[in-house]
Chain A
């Protein structure tokens, strides 16, 4: 059982004998983090400039340090569905806090809570809770929301997946329809009541079909408010997808799923990953659960645009619960969980997954022949870059947030690799230790700047 380790009064922790995920490489280098600033310390500057030495040294015995994992598509977890409003709305926030604390144990230190297509009142009630939550920078809060991801309801009714068709609407009036649907207070940047600083909107990302009504023309309006436009659940042709990219679309929601397949005469959404029409290539999410996509499709997508490749879980709230039939949304639809597969009751439609992000990474690692840092990049640096948070999240460079997972790489007899999460750190403090790691490495411990 994981145990929460109470944080002492150590300020600077140094990890040594470890390999850092930096770009596509594993670099043998020490890492210093500060529990005071919650950031990665520019150790050389602090060492020379302030004559500071670490208060605590942890020998990781060759383990890997990765930036904390980022899941940009998570519908719920531990029995809590972000899109289900409880009868007592006030309990929503309370349960969400509990979910964040549990989620961080899976190595996901930040994520985009994702709302599937819903009625306006769901957005108005849920979104105020789902905005960016990292402001207080408290490790004990667990996983941090980077803002909500609204997947729908401006999607194609013929590529709805399990989204209920009756709530899907076209944005015939453009941006004002989005404003009405999600609520103006959730779509505009807000002013902090504390210091008057401009805060990002509650919504970080919207998935919508570019070909429906005025969506493509609305994209620049979203971008100007700091919201990422991602195309998905769409019948878009290659031309329509290209137009969305030209308008500023920078992401594709679960590539291959809920969109037209690649056709040799019209490559559809997948086509924009090709180096064509001198357009920038968007980032794209991929569900590597072994059900949504064939491993080879994932490999092809990765090789088409490795720097845009993002692994997502698209996990439902049933992760970790036993097999059975579960209530899903306010419309009385239910989900059938059979092992790792989730389907809509009465159909064979895939209803998201029940996989953890690190399992997706492991799957991808074993299917693709990519290196460990390449696989981890798809859940750290790449999603951070997509969200405009490069150098803040998903990074081990100095001054980035000290969200870390300590990973041990295991290889079984058949050569299958497994990444085991041994520790999770949030804002420079350890939150969970699954494996006790010996701290004494036979060198003098340093306390308060003095060698003892």
Chain B
């Protein structure tokens, strides 16, 4: 795991925004091979979107070939409702950049059959070739998307009942009337997020420091769903100083030193080349086809010609040679005749 610590929320946000832009630009997305971006809502990501929009307007990045998937949406409030996540995304991001509406995926909280909606959402993610980078935020109780404490860490996109804390916290957006606050939401599951090739989380503010501690220093626990990130091969958490209040000094110093060393060596997040460029269209075509999946041994992608530190293995995990097949023989053949 990478933990990036910045002095204040603004610099934490611009770190993430710049990181995303760099990833998109290096990915060099095309119409056939788009960059698939997972997106959150909430208060912390607002400033990330702000920087993304500024940089877009400055011509530093294009979202023309970016496909987006949002994490969640309330059930039962109109799409145009000021508190809907459709509105949030439109106001903070989509209306300012060139993401084409047909490339945008947000769960439909008014679907007649929410369950089908969830199944189709997972299918749409698969059809897009999986998510290249999932950006996320968390709640003070460590929930990611609407995966409230106690959610299965193997969960997928589904209907979720909101925790009482969340309903209380949200009531300020609905005229302090608990009756008006949506009680249910559609959300991607923990497993959906973990399947993204890279996960980047922003956590800012003192009120989220306990959640950060639980997710980074303690074990994997469904009561702090973000802690599942420890099982992901390429997670990155970007925080401000306030969010580190509950962390041990040792932890903070360790992650700061990692960053210092990495920067001095000229690299930041180490990503395998496969993650950097996403699956090639060839691979997607194969998956869509009905034929059986063929396991290809050995190196799939060309290796980057950089230092060994930067070089990542072609596969995310070391490829071991197969255990030789067991060839049963007759017991009698082992007995030498006398």
Contacts and interface: CB of A to CB of B under 8 A. Distances in A.
Contact of A451 (B86, B94, B100): B100
Contacts of A47: 90, 94-95, 101
B98 A48 contact: no
Interface stretch (A37-45, A243-251, A285-293): A37-45
Contacts of B255: none
A290 to B, nearest CB: 42
Interface in A106-135: none
B62 interface: yes
Interface stretch (A342-350, A402-410, A442-450): A442-450
Given A44-B90, A51-B101, A51-B102, A442 B80 contact: no
B101 A48 contact: yes
Interface in A415-447: 441-444, 446
A43 B106 CA distance: 17
B242 interface: no
A365 B87 CA distance: 34
A44 B100 CA distance: 13
Contacts of A42: 80
Interface in B35-90: 56-59, 62, 64, 79-80, 86-87, 90
A336 interface: no
Nearest to B87: A44
Contacts of A55: none
A44 B91 CA distance: 9
A102 B221 CA distance: 72
A7 to B, nearest CB: 24
B95 A48 contact: no
A141 interface: no
Contact of B64 (A49, A52, A442, A451): A451
A94 to B, nearest CB: 45
Interface residues of A, number: 17
B82 to A, nearest CB: 10
A45 B64 contact: no
B123 interface: no
Contact of A443 (B90, B95, B98): B98
Contacts of B59: 442-443
Nearest to A43: B95
Given A42-B80, A47-B90, A48-B86, A444 B100 contact: no
A43 B87 CA distance: 11
A11 to B, nearest CB: 15
Given A43-B95, A44-B87, A48-B90, A444 B102 contact: no
A58 to B, nearest CB: 15
A44 B101 contact: no
A404 B102 CA distance: 30
A224 B90 CA distance: 43
A17 B200 CA distance: 31
B1 interface: no
Contact of A53 (B57, B90, B100): B100
Q: In the complex, which range does the number of interface residues on chain B fall in? A: 20 to 34
B104 to A, nearest CB: 7
A44 B98 contact: no
Interface string A28-64: 0010000000000011110111011100000000000
Nearest to A45: B80
B186 to A, nearest CB: 15
Contacts of B58: 442
Contacts, number: 45
A444 B101 contact: no
B98 to A, nearest CB: 5
B98 A444 contact: yes
B90 A442 contact: no
A405 to B, nearest CB: 23
A246 B102 CA distance: 55
B62 A45 contact: no
Interface string B101-119: 1101010000000000000
Interface in B303-337: none
Nearest to B58: A442
Given A53-B101, A451-B100, A30 B62 contact: no
B283 to A, nearest CB: 26
Given A48-B79, A53-B101, A444 B95 contact: no
Contacts of A43: 90, 95
Interface string B220-244: 0000000000000000000000000
Nearest to A14: B95
Nearest to A17: B57
B101 A52 contact: yes
A444 B62 contact: yes
A70 to B, nearest CB: 27
Given A442-B57, A442-B59, A443-B57, A45 B79 contact: yes
Nearest to A452: B64
Contact of A44 (B57, B86, B102): B86
Contacts of B64: 444, 451
A52 B64 CA distance: 15
Given A443-B98, A451-B100, A44 B62 contact: no
Contacts of B86: 44, 48
A444 B57 CA distance: 10
A51 B99 CA distance: 11
A422 to B, nearest CB: 22
A446 B59 CA distance: 15
A441 B57 CA distance: 8
Contacts of A44: 79-80, 86-87, 90, 95
A25 to B, nearest CB: 15
A359 B100 CA distance: 43
A43 B86 CA distance: 12
Q: Which of A43, A45, A49, A443 has the most CB atoms of chain B within a 10 A radius of its CB?
A: A443
A81 to B, nearest CB: 47
A224 B162 CA distance: 51
Contacts of A45: 79-80
A48 B100 CA distance: 10
Contacts of B104: 48
Contacts of B101: 47-48, 51-53
A45 B64 CA distance: 20
Interface string B3-18: 0000000000000000
A98 B86 CA distance: 46
Contacts of A444: 62, 64, 98
Given A30-B96, A47-B94, A53-B101, 15 more contacts: A30-B95, A42-B80, A44-B87, A44-B90, A44-B95, A45-B80, A48-B79, A48-B86, A48-B106, A51-B101, A443-B56, A444-B64, A451-B64, A451-B98, A451-B100
Question: Which are the 3 A-B pairs with shortest beta-carbon distances?
Answer: A51-B101, A44-B90, A51-B102
10 contacts: A30-B96, A44-B87, A47-B90, A48-B79, A48-B86, A51-B101, A442-B57, A444-B64, A451-B98, A451-B100
Interface of B: 56-59, 62, 64, 79-80, 86-87, 90, 94-96, 98, 100-102, 104, 106
